Amino acid sequence: MRITEMAVPDAYLIEPDHVVDARGTFHETIRHSALGDIAGHDLVVRQVNHSVSSRNTVRGIHGTALPPGQAKLVTCVRGVALDIAVDLRVGSPTFGRYAVARQEAEAGTAVYLPDGIGHAFQALTDDTCMSYLCSQEYLPGTMIVVDAFDPALALPWELTGPVIRSDKDTAAPTLAEAAAAGLLPGYEECVASYGKSGAWRGRVTGPSAGR
């Protein structure tokens, strides 16, 4: 597999190699040691979620407060999704920057999002199913929600009809409003939660992904 740091630092695009034979295909979604060597910290899975969405559904931008935090490995297991990572870390050199990954179930592409990196996606087909491997169990009251249609972010959605969103996502604050209200984590506390130093930064393979 190829693990590449995205345009949002500390977020990674994972592209597996496929083994093809008469039965079909096989691929590794993630290998613990491979991600740890690149990211500089381990992903320990404590909860697994799945969402199923109709075409033109947009979910996010979602993150989790620190503590407890919740890193995610997100994969499209059915359909096609436009997956976007957004830097929500106040004080980050790339605060507000986003990176895009087109996820198709057949490709097996995954995106790894550590604490402080918000996640949003658009279902490009009906019955799009996304799988989330999460580092922490969900704790009510800790979710961070930012408006996926914040004009200042200008995320490149590919809507072909009216958008479908939850009430919570529709009423979410802009990035600036969330920062002003103290809802977002700080860059330094996020980096500390990764348990890594700057020496890890830049250890990537393959071409850059994202904007």
Marked catalytic residue, from 62, 119, 187, 194 = 62
Q: Is 62 a catalytic residue?
A: yes
Question: Residues with Cβ < 8 Å from 205, sequence gap 6 or more?
Answer: 2, 3, 4, 38
Tokens representing 161 are 């009809």
User: How many whole angstroms separate alpha carbon 211 and alpha carbon 209?
Assistant: 7
Question: Residues with Cβ < 8 Å from 46, sequence gap 6 or more?
Answer: 134, 135, 136, 137
Amino acid identity for residue 79 in this structure:
G
Marked catalytic residue, from 12, 98, 119, 132 = 132
Question: Residues with Cβ < 8 Å from 146, sequence gap 6 or more?
Answer: 60, 61, 63, 86, 88, 118, 172, 173, 174, 175, 178
Amino acid identity for residue 178 in this structure:
A
Q: Are 73 and 41 in contact (CB under 8 A)?
A: no
The residues that are catalytic are: 62, 132
